[in-house]
Amino acid sequence: MSLAAYSMHPTKAQFLTALDEIQKFSPAPVILANALKLLRDPQSDVESIATLVGSDAALAADIIRCANSVFYAGGRCHGISEAVQKIGTFETIRLLNLAVARIASGRDLGSYGIRGADFWAESLFNGLFLQALAKVTGEADPDEAYTVGLLRFIGRLAINQAIENLHGGLFWVGSESISDWERDNVGVMQAQAGAILLGKWRFPEVMVQAISGQDAPAILPEKSWLAEALFFASTILPQGVGTPFSPALESSYPFMGLGSDFMHQYGLDAARVEALLISTSEEFGKIRESFGG
């Protein structure tokens, strides 16, 4: 095959085909979306969540394994109902989130030069940090914020798949922003791609909009704290390198520039944000140790 064939840019049709392929990776994202709906249904109970998760044997086995881990004090749960009863519906939803993140990090994002393990780390840290921000500001449901943060980069899967479908040849090398590289080579940025995916998976519209507006919250038709929080996180956390915040490496406050408006609006100061980053880093370490990645 000629070199030219390796440098083809995906067309819109090829990109949409890649989206369809991403949808076939696993039923976990759809199950997570349906579980989020069940949480908002006053008629739902633990058994309804267990039945939903149990509809996929591999996913149920993963939840049972996690429920029996030392993170949840060990145990001998043998079935999904028993596991959900043990850890509760909200923790089950958290594990479903992790399952989706593991699917996303199941392989390297070659076009981005990001290893699967690094993709997992970056996504997990964003989820935990958004959850912490939601708790301290009271502006959003912490579990909803966790899901949005964890899935903020899911659009990279579709973009990477679209490029792979054309046999590769397009690589982000760090000489320009990831968003500029995506726009120039694929014609769509990962935020847009992620919003399309979440829409196809039938996630709540508030989450779809947050992912869509993460790079420019002001463009959204309605105010979205989740989108603002995602943008704020992007001013602090390195993007595309899979390296979460490390307190030992941070001696200044990089978020005092672009992030100062967000901090002022929601009553945050530099010391409080740094404390949130440190506590998030500690939680991140516990989860990685318990569940891998």
pLDDT tens-digit profile of 49-73? Answer: 999 999 989 889 989 988 898 888 8
Mean pLDDT of 148-157: 92
In a domain, 32, yes or no: no
CA atoms within 13 A on the CB side of 165: 21
In a domain, 33, yes or no: no
Q: Residue 109 pairs with which residues in a beta bridge?
A: 114
CA separation for the pair 37, 74 (Å, rounded)? 29
Please say whether the beta carbons of 36 and 53 come within 8 A: no
Residue 292 pLDDT greater than 70, yes or no: no
In a domain, 93, yes or no: no
Mean pLDDT of 156-166: 84
Number of domains making up the chain:
1
Query: Of 38-42, 86-90, 102-106, 241-245, where does the model show the most confidence?
Result: 86-90
Q: What is the CATH number of the domain that holds 254?
A: 1.10.3210.10
State the pLDDT at residue 168: 72
All residues at 6 or more sequence positions from 140 whose CB lies less than 8 Å from its CB, including other chains: 134, 225, 226, 229
State the pLDDT at residue 18: 77
Please say whether the beta carbons of 59 and 25 come within 8 A: no
In a domain, 74, yes or no: no
Stated pTM of the model: 0.87
Please say whether the beta carbons of 100 and 62 come within 8 A: no
Instruction: Note the helical H segments in the chain.
Output: 3-6, 12-23, 28-39, 46-53, 57-67, 80-87, 89-104, 116-137, 142-150, 155-165, 178-185, 190-200, 205-212, 225-234, 260-265, 270-291
Residue ranges making up the domain that contains 182: 3-25+108-291
In a domain, 154, yes or no: yes
DSSP result, 41-78: -TT--HHHHHHHHTTSHHHHHHHHHHHTSGGGT-----
Please say whether the beta carbons of 66 and 291 come within 8 A: yes
Cα 226 to Cα 27, 138, 140, 208, 211: the distances in Å are 25, 12, 7, 10, 8
State the pLDDT at residue 289: 81
The DSSP secondary-structure symbol of 9 reads P
